[in-house]
Amino acid sequence: MSEADPNAPSRERPAVTRLKLTGFRNYAHLDLALDARPVALFGPNGAGKTNLVEAVSFLGPGRGVRAAGSDAVRRRTPAGPDPVWGVYAEAMTVDGSVSLATGSDPAEPSRRKTKLDGAAATQSALARLFPMLWLTPREDRLWAGSRSDRMRFFDRLVLAGAPDHGAEANAYEKAQRERQRLLDREQDGGRADPSWLDALEAKMAAAGTAMAAARLNALARLQAEIDARPDTAFPKADLALEGVVEARLAEGVSAAEAETGFLEALRKARPRDGAAGRALTGPHRTELTARHREKDQPAADCSTGEQKALVLGLALAQGAAIARARGAAPVLILDEACAHLDVARREGLAEALIDLNAQAWLTGVEAGLFEVFGPSVQRFMVEDGRAGPV
Ligand SMILES: Nc1ncnc2c1ncn2[C@@H]1O[C@H](COP(=O)(O)OP(=O)(O)OP(=O)(O)O)[C@@H](O)[C@H]1O
Ligand SMILES: [Mg+2]
């Protein structure tokens, strides 16, 4: 399944080859040399394994596996917080070797600044060069958890294959926030400039339709990948998106028509959204549903282990779908993925990762969890803010 689309150029897969941390979480300093193989980090609770993969997640777009800001990751010591923090990496990407640096902005330490080969990096450039997927213990509760967490997870899957998805989502959210501010003002008896409202709704309609189209496209590719995969240790999911704009596009209307329809709906909904204090319709309200195919039941009704295996299966299938479309698999961060997996499923994971040919970052409390991976992974022992190869 890891064979790339013959029409897609085969590219160097993204991989970190050197990672340096300064004043990041519980690391004073760290300097690791790596190759492109998957990475297994093991060590006791509280050693710094999740912190290390969080640093790796900072090399991609967004705020990383813990959605943390600059001040949260700055190393705290009994003597006070370190003045600066930084993550520096040398990495192979689809465009060749690059250096990536992110850290506190010297001019404004509460802000984070990211540089690609020494120049300011946009989120879209990071998403294109360094696509990344992650699963953390938080995603174990994905199916039974909140709709917004589920969509955030799905939007990250979409972003890894469609680098502009994040920029569209940001543009949509920004316009939505500004529109709501105007509607709230009207509720309070003030007056909102109708042409300004028109302009914001036009932005929401354009970005929202692009978002919905990217989601549908990603869903179709992902479902096709799942359907084509041989039966593995990971159960197959049947996925669906329930959203107003997605539904119109799925019916086959053109993007232009869907955008116009959404724009009209927004205009009509002004009084209702003003009274509600939020926009009640649009792609920010879309829901992702999943069913466990073999058991024919909603994912949320499955056992903890089954739910975890479903979400792991999704991430692996999306990795394969991206490898097929873009010629290289994304970096995968699988924090504690092995924790509740029996030996057969760990073997299945090892096979899937070898097949995918991705640099996956795996963590676990014991070296024994990674025995099934044999020489296909590079191992590092993590202890008390230090890490070294074993
Ligand atoms: N800003 C910070 N400065 C200093 N230490 C921090 C900071 N943020 C978190 N820590 C500490 O880093 C330590 C390691 O955390 P981390 O989550 O990486 O552990 P872990 O190895 O993943 O453990 P587990 O196996 O329990 O998941 C924790 O003790 C935590 O309190
Ligand atoms: Mg951890």
Q: Is the CB of 378 under 6 A from ligand 1?
A: no
Query: How far is residue 72's CA from residue 82's CA, in Å, rounded to a whole number?
Result: 11
- Give the closest residue (by CA) to ligand 1 atom 30: 46
Q: Is the CB of 75 under 6 A from ligand 1?
A: yes
Atom of ligand 1 nearest to the CA of 76: 3
Bridge partners of 33? 18
Is 372 a residue whose pLDDT tops 60? yes
Domain positions in the chain are 1-142+326-390, 144-301
Pick the ligand that lies closest to the CA of residue 54.
Answer: 1
4 SS3 class: coil
Contact criterion met (CB below 8 Å) for 318 and 161: yes
Q: Is the CB of 383 under 6 A from ligand 1?
A: no
Q: Is the CB of 46 under 6 A from ligand 1?
A: yes
Atom of ligand 1 nearest to the CA of 54: 18
For residue 1, the model assigns a pLDDT of 39
For residue 231, the model assigns a pLDDT of 83
Nearest in space to 204 (alpha carbons), one of 244, 242, 241 = 244
**Which two structure tokens, joined as six digits, stand for 293?**
């195919």
Average pLDDT score over residue span 374-379: 96
275 SS3 class: helix
Contact criterion met (CB below 8 Å) for 248 and 261: yes
144-301 is classed CATH 1.20.1050.90: yes
Query: How far is residue 209's CA from residue 253's CA, in Å, rounded to a whole number?
Result: 12
Pick the ligand that lies closest to the CA of residue 44.
Answer: 1
- Give the closest residue (by CA) to ligand 1 atom 17: 50
Residue-wise pLDDT for 207-254, tens only, equals: 999 999 999 999 999 999 999 998 888 999 999 999 999 999 999 999
Whole-number Å distance, alpha carbon 47 to ligand 2 midpoint, is 8
- Give the closest residue (by CA) to ligand 1 atom 26: 45
Q: Which residues contact 267 (CB under 8 A, 6 or more apart)?
A: 198, 201
Is 2 a residue whose pLDDT tops 50? no
Considering the segment(s) 1-142+326-390 as one domain, its CATH architecture is: 3-Layer(aba) Sandwich (3.40)
Query: How far is residue 315's CA from residue 5's CA, in Å, rounded to a whole number?
Result: 19
Give the strands of the sheet with 360-364, arranged side by side: 132-135, 331-334, 360-364, 39-42, 378-383, 386-389
Contact criterion met (CB below 8 Å) for 32 and 18: yes
pTM: 0.93
| CA 140 to chain CA centroid, nearest Å | 15
Q: Is the CB of 217 under 6 A from ligand 1?
A: no
Query: How far is residue 358's CA from residue 165's CA, in Å, rounded to a whole number?
Result: 22
Position 58 confidence tier, pLDDT thresholds 50, 70, 90: very high
How crowded is residue 371: how many other Cβ atoms within 10 Å of its Cβ?
A: 12
What are the φ/ψ torsions at residue 14 (nearest 5 degrees)? -65, 135
Atom of ligand 1 nearest to the CA of 81: 3
Percent of residues, the chain, with pLDDT higher than 90: 89
Residue-wise pLDDT for 287-311, tens only, equals: 999 999 999 999 999 998 889 999 9
How confident is the prediction for the chain on average, in pLDDT?
Answer: 94
Residue-wise pLDDT for 101-151, tens only, equals: 999 998 898 999 999 999 999 999 999 999 999 999 999 889 999 999 999
Atom of ligand 1 nearest to the CA of 48: 18
Contact criterion met (CB below 8 Å) for 1 and 320: yes
- Give the closest residue (by CA) to ligand 1 atom 11: 26
Pick the ligand that lies closest to the CA of residue 52.
Answer: 1
For residue 46, the model assigns a pLDDT of 98
Average pLDDT score over residue span 64-79: 96
Query: How far is residue 27's CA from residue 381's CA, in Å, rounded to a whole number?
Result: 14
Residue-wise pLDDT for 344-355, tens only, equals: 899 999 999 999
Do 1-142+326-390 and 144-301 have matching folds? no
Q: Is the CB of 337 under 6 A from ligand 1?
A: no
Query: How far is residue 60's CA from residue 368's CA, in Å, rounded to a whole number?
Result: 30
